[in-house]
Amino acid sequence: MRIKVGVIFGGESVEHEVSIISAIQAMNKMDEEKYEIIPIYITKEREWYTGDMLRDIDVYQDLSLIKKYSKNVVLYYRDGSYVLQKKKGLFKPVVKEIDIAFPVVHGTNVEDGGLQGYLQTIGIPYVGPNVYAAVCGQDKTIMKSIWKEANLPMTKYTWFYDSDYRQNENEILDRINKLNYPLIVKPATTGSSVGICVCETEEKLKEAIDDAMQYDTKIIVEEVVENLKEVNIAVMGNYDNQKVSEIEEVLSSNKFLTYQDKYIGDGKKSKIKGFAKVPVKGNSKGMASTNRKLPADLDKKTKEAIEEIAIKAFKLLGSSGNSRIDFLIDGKTNKVFINEINSIPGSLSFYLWDAKDINFTQVLEDMINIGIKDYKKRISKTHSFETNILKGFANNRLKGGKGKLYK
């Protein structure tokens, strides 16, 4: 009997379209002899839909087709099963049952612990980071605080809330100006290089902060690494076991890897193998389209240092599944700095594993197996007690009486 895998993607995020690409790539590479693939698309309006048509990239060029031909559903636990049930209609029948959820989501509201919290609340097994790891992986201030405590090498930084900046701009600027220019300004909890800017002057810094505050309530400002070489590595596993992929060097004409670099490419029309039969706008291969040198040109010592730091960083955050960890290297001094983790990376970083002769189908199977193991460990722990402190509670105590709550 095949395992029923609900692949969840989309959502209210600036990386909505990237998630669609990543999910369709993954669904096209899953072993359909082992898995029944059930696509679950979340619209930008947070409505959930399912249907086989959602595996075709062409459908997303006209979203009205989705509402017309696929089924609007809710996912919940019923009678020992996890079901997708129609939201509309007289009888609201169950459309599908799911054994395990596989989020292929990026960015705010989906990768950041929100979706994981829902899945964990209803109790369904799921692939990837749990709530805590997802939160830490999305919020750069929390992420860096944990890594700083463990003395992982990072660039100097500071962060602040948008409200604090509006109330005490000069105080915040004084703190920022203790760092060395050039500086890079980022929204702290978003992804895909949206709202990011490199600043050479305080005037440019102010403009960048105003722009970043359109996307987030938390802003982080970091020193820029000179003579920059940017490299990435993927880590597969959980807190118990880990393995690392090949290391890539990402190539960009910009001072950091932009949204254009990551996802749009050269802007030409291109066909996607296994996707649509007609061209789609842009080089829509997700992170697989990024210009890169794979494997990266690194000496043995630097490569081993990156691998060691990556595994430590992954474990410190309690990550699970397949994460990509980004590093910055000063090309002149060869000093390595850890930059950030992507808990559910674009294209699931399959190309980094492919360079180690681990194909995408095997990557997906490994991720599902880790998700199942995480679920078994989770349910083996005690999360509630049979006792009920409300039993025998006098009714008047619940209505404002003078009864004392048990201690």
pLDDT tens digits for 153-164?
A: 999 999 999 999
386: which 2 tokens? 């049979």
Question: Does 274 or 233 have the greater pLDDT score?
Answer: 233
Report the CATH number at residue 323. 3.30.470.20
Most confident of 182-196, 205-219, 263-277: 205-219
Domain at 57, CATH number: 3.40.50.20
Cα gap 21→39, rounded to integer Å: 13
Verdict on whether the full-model pTM lies above 0.85: yes
Dihedral sign for Cα 149, 154, 158, 160, please. Answer: negative
The residue type at 266: D
User: At 219, which CATH number?
Assistant: 3.30.1490.20
User: pLDDT averaged over the chain?
Assistant: 89
In this predicted structure, the answer to whether residue 278 has a pLDDT above a threshold of 60 is: no
Domain range holding 340? 137-148+226-251+291-380
Q: Look at residue 257 in the predicted model and tell me its pLDDT.
A: 52
| Domain membership flag for residue 392 | no
Cα–Cα distance for residue pair 39/77, rounded to 1 Å: 18
* DSSP-based three-state secondary structure for 125: coil
**Domain co-membership, 78 together with 107:** yes
The domain tally of the chain equals: 3
SS3 243: strand
Same domain as 203, residue 109: no
